[in-house]
Structure 1
Amino acid sequence: MARILVLDGHSAATLAITRSLGRAKYWVAVGSNRGIDAPAELSRYCRLSTRYPVPYEDASGFVETVLEFARKNEIELIIPVTDFTIAPLSKNRHQFQGVSRLALGADAAIELAADKFRTISLARELRIPVPETVLVSSLEDLDRAAPNWDFPVVVKDRFSVRWAGNRAVLGSVAYAYSIEDLKKKVGHRLKEAGDVLIQRFVQGAGIGFSCLAAEGKVWLPFSWLRVRETDPRGSGSSAQLSIPLTPEVEEASRALVTQAGLGGICMVEFKRPHDGGPPALMEINARPWGSLPLPIACGINYPLLWVEWLLTGKLPPERIEYKKGILCRRLVNELTHLEHTFHGTPPGWPLPYPGFFETLLKISLPWYPGMHYADFWFRDPSPGLSGLGSWFSGHLRQRFKSKSSA
């Protein structure tokens, strides 16, 4: 079997890929940033692990370290999982020719999907609903374009990672609660990044669509509903539920994936407004995503089918009838969600916010038929236990630090 290196060992998607490929008898190594917890390297399915310089602090050092490891260990396929590792490898893919294959799509597709403003522009061209969004390059632009929107307003970077030579500026997402707050937060991001997006907040349910894109077609469509988010105001999800595909989400997603020229496993995310409007595009990820364990639990083994296509050219079935009503949760994210509700509605947040006891009742049931855990596996307990231990130890250190400074 092929020897495979999966990067970004801290990522939930990396753990899912490691388990999927390891169970299929592939030889799997895991690479991770130096100095951080990496649960995937503790998996029983990880044969070897390596550490590399933090890519957004030293991109060339990261590439050199990965290349050296690949040569030394005869790695046939390298799978980068996050934007931090995808961009440096994509820009230096020529160095890996004759050494290892990179699980990457075309440069143009990677660059388009990384640019939130370009993806919004593409959706508009395809007549796919998007939240009202303005690209701001100066405070004067904000004064001219300041929309008459209700607050909060979303302030988000155009790129989650903006590269400048060997380093990168990390993107952020924040909420502005007044015009003064909006100007302050926009001004801060302009100094850091040069431009920023302001976007009307969409109150609604998060709906995801995933697939494997190959040879200009969409294979293995899958859909899910966000049940809870790590930050109740909006963030990555802590629990997701598999749902039937709907024509409007599938058609919009297929158009976006094919027009963007994506390759490999990818996802598109929408919000369905509570007021009954059509789903609005939130983002496109031309890479593995955090809730990847859910489709695997439902019968679509994306990592395995993706790797088989990359290594052998074997295309997957066009569709697989997957299980509906399966809930997948990540315990440490659920605990963080619960912690947010314990502290109550954030100052200035004008929208409904989940209550603590209501949330506690929902997440306290450890298991029922149809529930799966992304991090905890009975056959592979170490990654989940490590993540849980890190969560508690981090909170204890933070509490001790707060008391010491008081």
Structure 2
Amino acid sequence: MDILIFSIEDGRFGPARFPQMLHEAGLSVAALCPGDNILAQSCYLGGCHELPPSRNIRAIAKALALAISTEQPRIVIPGDEQAVILLQAFAQGRCATLIGPKARAIIAASLGDPSMFAASLFKSDTIALARSLGIAVPLSETVHTPAAAQRAAGNMGYPVYLKQSFSWAGQGVVRCEDAAVLRAAFKAARPRSAMLRHLARKALGRDWYPAVTAMDVQSGIAGTPAMFSVLAWKGRLIGGLCGVRLATVHASGPSTSVHLRHDQTMADAAGKLVAALGLTGFLSFDFMIPHDGGKPLLIECNPRPVPVHHLGRRIGVDMAEAFARFVRGGTLDGEPLFPDRDLDVVLFPHALNHALHIEGCLIDIPDEDPGLIRHVTGRTVTREIHSPTRLAA
């Protein structure tokens, strides 16, 4: 088996499209995920292992170790942030009695430089690294108390955003129009029960999940959200494409449609960060394009697949084909792969809603992988999957 996709959270549509994308590039793909996860519905999987319902780190480690032992993948792709943080923990030696040296080496080779793990996952660290590399970022300050948050906001000017350093898909981000909203948001993010919850999670073996992380006050920016989604290999930017938001679920939520194109400023920033982080795999960087015509500002890094990676081949950036070459020991000479044309797309699963269609946009529906559609529309088909207690066929 070439690739193992490890996914925990449902509702992540980037990894669900990867089995078909990688299969069409000639790679074999297996998955480790919950049985009712959308990823498990793909007909392009060569094997599927069920993740146990327990989020105890040892239970997850046992399931991952068995999937790796059974499938012998060359690379493990994390499907979401929870999968990323677990893989990072295993690569650094946690659960070493369960994740042996060979499996740990595969996991480590699938990620980036271990000394830079935090900077690829936590917003505070990403912004600090970007700033040190000369990449344009918004005004921001890491704060630890409500008073410090209010001072930072006062210096920047309202509105501001209060952001938890570990969050995704718009969660953990609150727009604060004034000091009262900021105080309430800080209090909600730092409940008095947080320490008790941390101790309980530790006792249950669930302390791998960073429930309480750094908080940042970030200046509000009048602009358009965008992403630059890339393929990296051992600290080298192999290819990438820019997706500018056309429409969204809600103000801070994921895009429903995007305009795909090239952006050299974002590409340059992504290249610097990929090199500094020593990254391997599929990931994406979020930006804000100011309405005043200024440079795109880096917002955060998402070190996992996103729902536009599979669309690269439509605009001259076949990242799956390039990835297949590297996985099999080959090389790719020349400059990074960037788009040679533009494309407007209504993304899956939003493309299933006719009300969200935009004239002239490609409607991205995976007709060749109908299990994904059935999962979203409620007619779920759960494939027979291989239990972690027995070997895959």
In structure 2, the CA distance between the partners of 1:26 and 1:276, relative to structure 1 (3 Å rule), is closer
One-letter amino acid matched to 1:78 = V
- Distance in structure 1 (CA, Å) of the matches to 2:132 and 2:254: 27
2:176 is matched with which residue?
A: 176
TM-superposition CA deviations, 1:348-368 (whole Å, max 9, x none): xxxxxxxxxxxx5xx345x75
Q: Runs ≥4 in structure 1, deviation > 6 angstroms? A: none
Contact 1:31 1:49 in 2 (8 A): yes
TM-superposition CA deviations, 1:218-269 (whole Å, max 9, x none): 22232221212221x12221212211333x3332332232233323333222
1:101 is matched with which residue?
A: 106
- Distance in structure 1 (CA, Å) of the matches to 2:71 and 2:352: 38
Contact 2:112 2:280 in 1 (8 A): yes
Tell me the secondary structure at the aligned position of residue 259 of structure 1: helix
One-letter amino acid matched to 2:106 = R
1:12 is matched with which residue?
A: 13
2:362 is matched with which residue?
A: 371
Deviation at 1:19, TM superposition (A): 0.7
2:287 is matched with which residue?
A: 270
Are 1:329 and 2:329 an aligned pair? no
1:114 is matched with which residue?
A: 121
**How many matched pairs?**
349
TM-superposition CA deviations, 1:53-82 (whole Å, max 9, x none): 368x32221121111122234444432222
2:208 is matched with which residue?
A: none
One-letter amino acid matched to 1:129 = A
One-letter amino acid matched to 1:189 = A
Question: Which 10-residue stretch deviates more, 143-152 or 205-214?
Answer: 143-152
- Distance in structure 1 (CA, Å) of the matches to 2:350 and 2:106: 33
Contact 1:106 1:263 in 2 (8 A): no
1:279 is matched with which residue?
A: 296
In structure 2, the CA distance between the partners of 1:323 and 1:379, relative to structure 1 (3 Å rule), is farther
Deviation at 1:30, TM superposition (A): 2.0
- Distance in structure 2 (CA, Å) of the matches to 1:75 and 1:216: 21
2:57 is matched with which residue?
A: 59
Contact 2:228 2:242 in 1 (8 A): yes
- Distance in structure 1 (CA, Å) of the matches to 2:237 and 2:71: 34
Are 1:33 and 2:34 an aligned pair? yes
Are 1:190 and 2:190 an aligned pair? yes
- Distance in structure 2 (CA, Å) of the matches to 1:321 and 1:153: 34
Tell me the secondary structure at the aligned position of residue 147 of structure 1: helix
2:244 is matched with which residue?
A: 225
| Mapping 1:193-204, distance limit 5 Å | 193=212, 195-204=214-223
Contact 2:164 2:216 in 1 (8 A): yes
- Distance in structure 2 (CA, Å) of the matches to 1:176 and 1:130: 19
Tell me the secondary structure at the aligned position of residue 148 of structure 2: helix
Tell me the secondary structure at the aligned position of residue 256 of structure 2: strand
Deviation at 1:331, TM superposition (A): 4.3
In structure 2, the CA distance between the partners of 1:261 and 1:104, relative to structure 1 (3 Å rule), is closer
1:380 is matched with which residue?
A: 369
In structure 2, the CA distance between the partners of 1:96 and 1:388, relative to structure 1 (3 Å rule), is farther
1:404 is matched with which residue?
A: none
Tell me the secondary structure at the aligned position of residue 102 of structure 2: coil
Contact 1:295 1:302 in 2 (8 A): yes
Which ranges in structure 2 are unaligned for 5 or more consecutive residues? 94-98, 195-211, 381-393
- Distance in structure 2 (CA, Å) of the matches to 1:308 and 1:140: 53
Question: Which 10-residue stretch deviates more, 38-47 or 214-223?
Answer: 214-223
Deviation at 1:46, TM superposition (A): 1.6
2:166 is matched with which residue?
A: 159
- Distance in structure 2 (CA, Å) of the matches to 1:385 and 1:310: 32
Give the alignment's TM-score, normalised by structure 1. Answer: 0.76
One-letter amino acid matched to 1:187 = K
Tell me the secondary structure at the aligned position of residue 78 of structure 1: strand
- Distance in structure 1 (CA, Å) of the matches to 2:307 and 2:151: 38
In structure 2, the CA distance between the partners of 1:254 and 1:120, relative to structure 1 (3 Å rule), is same
Which ranges in structure 1 are unaligned for 5 or more consecutive residues? 162-169, 339-359, 392-406
One-letter amino acid matched to 2:260 = S
- Distance in structure 1 (CA, Å) of the matches to 2:240 and 2:116: 19
One-letter amino acid matched to 1:114 = L
- Matching residue within 305, 320, 340 for 1:288: 305
- Asked which structure has the greater RCO (Cα within 8 Å, sep 6+), the reply is 2
One-letter amino acid matched to 2:77 = I
- The CA RMSD over aligned residues, in Å, is 3.0
Identity of aligned residues (%): 21
- Distance in structure 1 (CA, Å) of the matches to 2:82 and 2:246: 27
Deviation at 1:96, TM superposition (A): 4.6
Tell me the secondary structure at the aligned position of residue 387 of structure 1: helix
- Matching residue within 336, 354, 368 for 1:319: 336
Are 1:389 and 2:370 an aligned pair? no
Tell me the secondary structure at the aligned position of residue 101 of structure 1: helix
Are 1:308 and 2:338 an aligned pair? no
- Matching residue within 208, 233, 237 for 2:255: 237
2:204 is matched with which residue?
A: none
One-letter amino acid matched to 1:228 = A
One-letter amino acid matched to 2:18 = I
Are 1:138 and 2:139 an aligned pair? no
In structure 2, the CA distance between the partners of 1:266 and 1:4, relative to structure 1 (3 Å rule), is closer
1:167 is matched with which residue?
A: none
Contact 1:114 1:160 in 2 (8 A): no
